[in-house]
């Protein structure tokens, strides 16, 4: 008998995982399987899929919940594209493959909001797409069932590719009842400088990714609760 599915993630990041350096190196859409090391995390969010995806795509609202990346500046989008050309995703439709953005990243998420800038990290959106995830066996789903999901990824452009490459992937999978979402995230590092990054800031990245995940989860659940109150009042 086949083992029950313990994750809906396309690369088998386990469910409900606090951020850690992974024992397995996971591939990314742009750079494939030849990485040096991966960082990953996951959680279950008490909010619908569309709400969760909208939180991550709504970069203008990052200052209100994101202790890791506290500001995002959109530098450019692919020529000749408009919001109507993007996939029909939840949220404002600002991000699409080829969008260039600048993160204001704070490696210590506990630091105060004293106006100091963090690390300026240029990023490029590489993937924004729906996908189907395998459903685990449960009372509401059977083996072979599929769940709706969204995948968004971006790669860092802070170093020349010959020295260091990295790409972060986030997957959102709708729960069988529609009221919860499974969130998975991993980032893989490639190139000769990858081991140096792991040694220098690996532990800091664990805390920063946890802060992102916790803030995103809290914001999504807050929006879902507010939506439920509005619906109940109608």
> For position 145, what pLDDT does the model report?
76
Q: Give the pair of three-digit tokens for residue 92.
A: 């404002």
Fold of 20-233: Alpha-D-Glucose-1,6-Bisphosphate; Chain A, domain 4 (3.30.530)
Per-residue pLDDT, averaged over 140-162, amounts to: 86
15-47 pLDDT, tens digit each: 999 999 999 999 999 999 999 999 999 999 999
Q: Taking Cα atoms as reference points, which of 35, 30, 28, 31 lies closest to residue 11? A: 28
Domain segments of the chain: what residues? 20-233
Q: Tokens 């993160």, residue?
A: 103
The residue among 6 and 53 whose pLDDT is bigger is 53
What pTM does this model have?
0.90
CB 186 within 8 A of CB 26: yes
**For 44, how many CA atoms within 13 A lie in the half-sphere containing its CB?**
11
72-124 pLDDT, tens digit each: 999 998 875 555 555 566 766 678 999 999 999 999 998 887 778 899 999 99
> For position 3, what pLDDT does the model report?
40
Q: How far apart are CA 156 and CA 39, in angstroms?
A: 15
> For position 85, what pLDDT does the model report?
54
Q: Tokens 């999504």, residue?
A: 220
């Amino acid at each position: 008998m086949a083992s029950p599915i313990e994750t809906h993630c396309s690369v088998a990041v386990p469910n409900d995982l606090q951020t850690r350096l992974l024992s397995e190196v996971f591939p990314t859409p742009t750079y494939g399987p030849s990485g040096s090391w991966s960082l990953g995390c996951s959680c279950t969010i008490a909010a619908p899929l569309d709400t969760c995806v909208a939180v991550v795509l709504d970069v203008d609202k990052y200052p209100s919940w994101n202790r890791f990346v506290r500001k995002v500046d959109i530098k450019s989008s692919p020529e000749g594209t408009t919001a109507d050309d993007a996939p029909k995703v939840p949220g404002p439709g600002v991000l699409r493959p080829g969008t260039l953005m600048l993160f204001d990243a704070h490696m210590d998420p506990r630091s105060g909001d004293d106006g100091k800038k963090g690390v300026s990290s240029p990023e490029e959106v590489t993937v924004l797409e729906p996908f189907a995830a395998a459903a685990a066996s449960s009372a509401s789903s059977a083996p072979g069932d599929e769940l709706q999901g969204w995948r968004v990824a971006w790669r860092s452009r802070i170093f020349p590719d010959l020295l260091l490459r990295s790409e972060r992937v986030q997957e959102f999978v709708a729960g069988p009842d529609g009221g919860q979402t499974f969130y998975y995230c991993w980032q893989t590092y490639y190139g000769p400088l990858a081991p140096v990054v792991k040694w220098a800031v690996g532990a800091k990245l664990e805390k920063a990714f946890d802060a992102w995940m916790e803030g995103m989860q809290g914001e999504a659940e807050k929006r879902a609760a507010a939506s439920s109150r509005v619906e109940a009042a109608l």
